[in-house]
Homo-oligomer: A and B are copies of this chain.
Amino acid sequence: MSDKAVVILSGGLDSTTCMAVAADEGFEIYALTFDYGQRHRREVDCARRVAEHFGAREHRIVQLDLLQHIGGSSLTDSRMEIPSGETGEEIPNTYVPGRNLIFLSLAASFAEVVGARAIFIGVSAVDYSGYPDCRPEFIEAVNRVLRVGTRAGTRSEPIEIRTPLIRLSKAETVKLGHRLGAPYHLTTSCYRGGERACGVCDSCRLRLKGFREAGIIDPIPYEERPADLS
């Protein structure tokens, strides 16, 4: 019997690559998608198609209204403006406070219930846009929490968070996914969530830059491809 893994799946490039890694390692996949009122809700539809593509055993789509109620991020608060242009040193306002910890907590609960031993999450500390909860120290700290704070952990069968992309640049991620046959044509990464990806938000720019540097054509359509990335 295959080992089970919970894969946090947004429907974007990174989480889809993560799922390709989990599938390649032979895990039985339990996909988990959070619908937290993000503007790029189109991602949820993408997630559905990606989970289906990989034959996930289950796909839970969890409504998380709290992030919307709590606010504080331009991805969930329509009064804030989504930044365009280069990623700087500052933590951008697309940061949802504590988002990855919330996601991992819920994933751990799901993992404990279905008996999964691994949780895959597609964070990267390289092209991480300045989010503090994408760094290895953070993941390591959460792994320690799972060792001491879950029933599985107290039975010496801890649930382990797996981050296959954490040391990869976007280009390396694209190459990895391409090699594993990740269905990038089913994904989207745009923060704006229009019919076609906008091509100019931070997330589109990172993605396009990754494909360009990997020497691979991004199969999804864009409104616009910035001159420096086309």
Q: Which residues of A contact B (CB under 8 A)?
A: 60, 62-67, 69-72, 91, 95-102, 104-106, 108-110, 112-113, 132-133, 135, 137-138, 141-142, 144-145, 147-151, 153-154
The interface residues of chain B lying within 8 Å CB-to-CB of A98 are: 105-106, 108-109, 112, 149-150
**How many identical chains are in the complex?**
2
The interface residues of chain B lying within 8 Å CB-to-CB of A110 are: 70
A151-B112 in contact (CB<8A): no
The interface residues of chain B lying within 8 Å CB-to-CB of A138 are: 145, 148-149
A145-B101 in contact (CB<8A): yes
B148-A141 in contact (CB<8A): yes
Tell me the nearest residue of chain B to A143, going by C-beta: B141
A108-B113 in contact (CB<8A): no
The interface residues of chain B lying within 8 Å CB-to-CB of A150 are: 97-98, 132-133
The interface residues of chain B lying within 8 Å CB-to-CB of A105 are: 98, 101-102, 104-105
The interface residues of chain B lying within 8 Å CB-to-CB of A70 are: 60, 109-110, 113
Pick the residue among B62, B66, B144, B154 that contacts A141 (CB under 8 A).
B144
B113-A72 in contact (CB<8A): yes
The interface residues of chain B lying within 8 Å CB-to-CB of A144 are: 141, 144
Pick the residue among B97, B100, B109, B137 that contacts A99 (CB under 8 A).
B109
The interface residues of chain B lying within 8 Å CB-to-CB of A104 are: 105
Tell me the nearest residue of chain B to A99, going by C-beta: B109
A154-B91 in contact (CB<8A): yes
Tell me the nearest residue of chain B to A112, going by C-beta: B97
3 nearest A-B pairs in the assembled complex, by CB-CB distance: A98-B109, A97-B112, A138-B149
Given A65-B63, A69-B60, A144-B141: A109 touches B113 (CB 8 Å cut-off): no
- Shortest distance between the CB of A216 and any CB in chain B (Å): 32
Pick the residue among B66, B106, B112, B137 that contacts A148 (CB under 8 A).
B137
Interchain Cβ contacts under 8 Å between A and B, 18 examples: A62-B65, A62-B69, A70-B110, A91-B151, A97-B108, A97-B109, A98-B106, A98-B108, A98-B112, A98-B150, A101-B145, A102-B105, A102-B106, A132-B153, A133-B149, A141-B144, A141-B147, A141-B149
